[in-house]
Amino acid sequence: MRSTPGAARAYILAALICSFVCALPALSPGAGTPWGTLALLTALYLVCELPGRCPFFGSSVPVTAGSFFPLLLAAAFLLPPAAAVMVAIPGSLAGRVEQPPATARRVWRAAQLSLAVWAASSAHTALGGPATLGGPGGGAVPDLPYALFPACASALVFSLVLAALDGGILVTAERVPLRHAWRGLPASSLGPHLVHALAGLMMAVLWRSSYGPVSALVVLLPMYISCWVFAQYHRQHAAHRATIRALVQAVDIKDKYTRGHSERVGRASELIAVELGMDEQRMEALRFAGILHDVGKLGVPTRVLRKEGPLTPEERRVIELHPEYGHEIVRGIGFLDEARAAILHHHERLDGSGYPYGLTGDKIPEFARVVAVADAFDAMTSTRSYRRGRPVPAAVEELERCAGSQFDPRMVRALARALDRHGWSSAAGAVTSDEETFGVPRQRSGKPASAAGTADRHGRLR
């Protein structure tokens, strides 16, 4: 834990002490703690987490923090709050951790889940939830309609406590500003936690039935399978992001002037997509297109990319091949979908004067028209080695002036609306590609040579 910031260590220690205090009533003589139920639930949670540590299974098992929230919520429904605290501890301490520092992360996970289960169990008990589950051994019939309210309320409390604790660790360990630490946390997790609560309620009802704890495993098995499917999806998504990150880093290393440019173009493309009302899947593909639009520079000789001074006509023709190089590089990456067309055509212009194929109007793919606007906008607003970036209003005005001839007016309007809503922040002092221009050479006086915009220090065409 030495690599963990001091504030984070203090925060984790405080959470751990709170967990211990919450568990004390269950350890006192005469507390009537149902040790048999507690031991079974604790063992089940431990068994569910252990495969992640086994080399035989590798990373193919769905074991991550919170994979088995239904089991923890079932414990919150079946046990008194002080006993429910202890269910998550062994499994959390023994489970797999993806990133260092492993010890700090395991201790934090144990404390966080213990407090969340204690809060959920307290809410469930306060709302009379245990009485709706039926008697032990099937002695009383469960009151299922009325059992839903305390179960859902407990899931809400569980979700809020997890979100509150997550925000605190972001502030102390990741140095996230207070105003951003809790943004979106409760909203993004409440839905899944309600589903987990319903599965946990099914487990609790079956546990209390005449069939006993063994019947509760009927719920656990399909939940394990669904967690496996969900984990596989997230691993695939993480692999996609890693692929894109590697490509962008390779471009950044080759052309120092593009550093940060790709990510900003991806962000601006996403802002336009939101205004256009694209669905989430297309929006993500468009963001990938923005990030990877210059990946073809990997095929351009480094001496040309880093050349100081004007390019020769032959060197300019080589530069203009980078969209085709980029398309070839990503051709075999299936998940990019429409992004491939944007990488190939983001230098096309509506009037047909662009490259590589001189497409006009609607013949240019929609994604390419979006990325062209985002690319040009970031080029104007970013500071380069030879000039300061333009103010955002001036850049938008230039885009509007070139709309209809170079840019799709609908995309320009969408970006303008997005900027009005959200604003724009470029990295201070960031230096981006000297190639990100409108394609008309800038005169020595610093004034545009024509209405098409600005050009780079090489006088290169876009």
Question: Can you give the pLDDT at residue 434?
Answer: 35
Band (385; pLDDT cuts 50, 70, 90): low
Select from 406, 422, 438 the last residue of a domain: 422
The Cα–Cα gap between 266 and 199 comes to 39
CA–CA gap between residue 12 and residue 10 (Å, rounded): 6
* Residues forming beta bridges with residue 407, ordered by sequence position: 403
Give residue 134's identity as a one-letter amino acid code.
Answer: G
Name the residue among 297, 411, 289 with its Cα closest to residue 350: 411
Query: Could you give the CA distance from residue 81 to residue 314 in angstroms, rounded to a whole number?
Result: 75
Is residue 260 domain-shared with residue 226, that is, in the same domain?
A: no
pTM of the model: 0.58
Say how far apart CA 8 and CA 15 lie, in whole Å. Answer: 11
In the predicted structure, residue 429 carries a pLDDT above the cut 60: no
Strand, helix or coil at 254?
helix
Are residues 273 and 146 part of one domain?
no
Q: b/e for 367-405, b at 16 or more Cβ within 10 A?
A: bbbbbbbbbbbbbbbbbbeeeebbebeebbebbeebbee
The rounded Cα 318 to chain-centroid distance in angstroms is 36
In this structure, the answer to whether residues 226 and 269 fall within a common structural domain is no
Residue 10, in any domain of the structure: yes
Other CB atoms within 10 A of residue 433 CB: 26
Q: What is the pLDDT of residue 257?
A: 65
65 and 169 co-located in one domain: yes
Q: Has residue 444 been placed in a domain?
A: no
**Domain assignment of residue 242, yes or no:** no
The more confidently predicted of residues 203 and 446 is 203
pLDDT of 11 above 90: yes
* pLDDT, tens digit (0-9, with 9 covering 90-100), for 351-361: 999 999 999 99
- Average confidence (pLDDT) over 165-193: 80
What local confidence, expressed as pLDDT, does residue 56 receive?
43
Phi, psi of 448 (to 5 degrees): -60, 140
394 Cβ neighbours under 8 A, 6+ residues apart: 380
Same domain, 155 and 265: no
Higher pLDDT, 457 or 335: 335
Please tell me whether residues 270 and 406 are part of one structural domain.
Answer: yes
Per the model's pLDDT, the better-predicted residue between 458 and 390 turns out to be 390
What's residue 451's pLDDT? 35
* Residue-number span of the structural domain to which 350 is assigned: 255-422
What is the C-alpha to C-alpha distance for residues 125 and 121, in angstroms, rounded to an integer? 6
Residues 41 and 114 both lie in one domain: yes
Residue 118 falls inside a structural domain: yes
289 and 382, same domain (yes or no):
yes
Domain identity same for 280 and 356: yes
Task: Answer whether residue 58 shows pLDDT above 60.
Answer: no
CATH of the domain at 414: 1.10.3210.10
Same domain, 265 and 231: no
**266 plus 216 within the same structural domain:** no
**Mean pLDDT score of the chain, rounded to an integer?**
82
Pure H helices in 255-365? 261-276, 280-292, 302-305, 313-319, 322-330, 339-345
Does 245 map to a domain?
A: no
Q: What is the pLDDT of residue 352?
A: 94
Last residue of a domain, one of 182, 204, 235: 235
Q: At a CB cut-off of 8 Å and minimum separation 6, what does 158 contact?
A: 69, 73, 76, 116, 117, 119, 120, 193, 197
How high is the pLDDT of residue 265?
93
Q: Is the peptide bond before 101 cis (omega within 30 degrees of 0)?
A: yes
Residue 335 falls inside a structural domain: yes
Residues 181 and 295 in one domain: no
Q: Is residue 250 one of the residues assigned to a domain?
A: no
Q: What is the pLDDT of residue 442?
A: 31
Which of the given ranges, 20-34, 114-128, 166-180, 378-392, has the highest pLDDT on average?
114-128
Q: Is 452 within the bounds of a domain?
A: no
pLDDT tens per residue, range 233-290 = 667 777 777 888 888 888 877 776 666 888 899 999 999 999 999 888 889 889 999 9
φ/ψ bin of 358: left (φ > 0), alpha (ψ from -120 to 50), beta (otherwise): left
Domain tally, the chain: 2
